[in-house]
Structure 1
């Protein structure tokens, strides 16, 4: 279990994507998925936030399971996920097992936060013949994250309610390519030297850190910790930040992962085989296993700092 440290209260930005004109026309090919232009911008109204430190998966907790979308099905993800937080998260996880497990997060946050691994694709990895790896078309050396930030943000227009324990969420579209890049796409790729700029393509950041951002929905239906689609029980706010009717604002989770990608080497995320490792398929999952007292403390910080 990670050693407990005080939560960090700071002022940060609510990230609202505003697409600006791109001068690049993208064809569907491996080489055209890598770009130097970051063609989306973020507007950033300031709101209070709390950062939970969970490390960078130093213990290398990896598996091809998905306890949110495919519970009970080993290798159900058909690609490999990287985890921080709950040390036990896998296909067999239950609320009881998650609540009994150790965690890499401070303040005994037993939540699990996870996303597809990033690989260098010009060589073989140790799972070249394994489920989730080469068996499903995901080859290459898995890159370890340089940084992972878990941040909870206040609503820009109201106070927030506590998340219910064992709330499950997914953000992004793991089938973006076969879905023809529909409205569920939320991939945010960026470079540390170009703050506020993003793309749904793989960015060529040179010596700068390559960033992946995941924004989760923050308007809860008030009743359910999951839904059949894993999406309808928590939805995104309307323009301006207010929640739709019959939903209630909860803390907005944003996860940002950084990588030192060797300059000039090709890289790609894991995906379903039919998604061809398309960068727009980037996505992340979350199960809230914070103790109720910690969630209450977090919400108190967010609301009192408004």
Structure 2
């Protein structure tokens, strides 16, 4: 799929230097994946989705104007009608049954119904200068980071910036691991999804939803790594944080007696290596560009905002009609579990 030519892009778009951080409540939890499995009802595994209510089973690639199709969004910035989604986390008890792990809002966003915290940045997360020049996403842009089929550390290393944080409290941000934490987490497990930050400057999508973007040649976006010649355009570092409230499952007496994984993605993965996230750009007009041109840090006063109560009101219909609350004998979709034996210790 072709977008604006690279030379025209570089000549027209202003450099952007900013970091914005905001919360988005839950839009829906369903077995739908219009990026990887468009039109398939239900999709192979369960996802938790945030953003604009134009989200649907197909998300027609020919429809680039998500804001025109949406009437509300679950995000704090009410001009962001993008959609973001990840797999869902489950706890496995000693009797082999599963229970969906609830999500918890981050500090300052209390009252948010599930969801995630979203970042767009041009430099390292806590670099207040944000001096690097990046180019905002174009209408129709979409991408996927991670791979739902990965269950090995070697394969997971391809995606440099997908990680987990075992949270002692709301301030916990380290250490980060690429597999599920090996010990109980007092507050919960934060899943961190950082998307690639180099774009080919032409395609707003690719057949696997990944080839039009890539990581820097060396290091990472946050370390100032250069983009390769094949993907010369620096785009914002999009980062998602989801805090899964595992505190109710910290009693090891409830954990599997075989010493295996206690937590599983809805894909059936008990290692954590299959972590993945999807993104469909949907900011209204030039709102994201303006926000990033403002050289702001965390806040963006030029953008329209809404209350958490308003965010929580935005939903979409359940087209699958699947029950997944309470204790389940199997994961939704009856996905087979994959794990490495791991004896957690308190």
What TM-score does the superposition give when structure 2 sets the normalisation length?
A: 0.62
> Paired residues, what number?
239
The reply to whether residue 85 of structure 1 matches residue 51 of structure 2 is yes
Tell me how far apart the structure 2 counterparts of residues 299 and 97 of structure 1 sit (CA, whole Å): 20
Give 1:140's match in structure 2, choosing from 89, 98, 102: 98
Tell me how far apart the structure 1 counterparts of residues 56 and 226 of structure 2 sit (CA, whole Å): 35
The reply to whether residue 248 of structure 1 matches residue 241 of structure 2 is no
Which residue of structure 1 aligns with residue 3 of structure 2?
none
The reply to whether residue 270 of structure 1 matches residue 228 of structure 2 is no
Question: Could you say if the C-alpha distance between residues 197 and 220 of structure 1 is closer, same or farther in structure 2, counting changes exceeding 3 Å?
Answer: same
Tell me how far apart the structure 1 counterparts of residues 23 and 165 of structure 2 sit (CA, whole Å): 21
- After TM superposition, what 4+ stretches of structure 1 lie above 4 angstroms from structure 2? 302-305
Query: 1:102-148, CA deviations, whole angstroms, 9 ceiling, x for partnerless residues?
Result: 21112221000100011122299xxxxxxxxxxxxx96222231132
Which residue of structure 2 aligns with residue 211 of structure 1?
190
Query: 1:280-306, CA deviations, whole angstroms, 9 ceiling, x for partnerless residues?
Result: 10111110111132121222135899x
**Conserved 8 A contact 1:154-1:160:** yes
Q: CA RMSD in A?
A: 2.8
Moved more, 231-240 or 161-170: 231-240
Tell me how far apart the structure 1 counterparts of residues 152 and 42 of structure 2 sit (CA, whole Å): 21
Which residue of structure 1 aligns with residue 209 of structure 2?
230
Secondary structure of the 1:181 match is: helix
Give 1:161's match in structure 2, choosing from 131, 135, 143: 135
Which residue of structure 1 aligns with residue 180 of structure 2?
202
Tell me how far apart the structure 2 counterparts of residues 282 and 182 of structure 1 sit (CA, whole Å): 9
Query: 1:49-87, CA deviations, whole angstroms, 9 ceiling, x for partnerless residues?
Result: 1113312x1x5x0121211122222223x1100011123
| 1:17-96 to 2 correspondences below 5 Å | 48-55=18-25, 57=26, 61-76=28-43, 78-94=44-60, 95=63
Secondary structure of the 1:256 match is: strand
- Contiguous gaps of at least 5 residues in structure 2: 1-16, 106-115, 125-130, 255-261, 299-346
Give 1:116's match in structure 2, choosing from 87, 96, 99: 87
Give 2:120's match in structure 1, choosing from 129, 152, 160: 152
Secondary structure of the 1:196 match is: coil
Which residue of structure 1 aligns with residue 150 of structure 2?
176
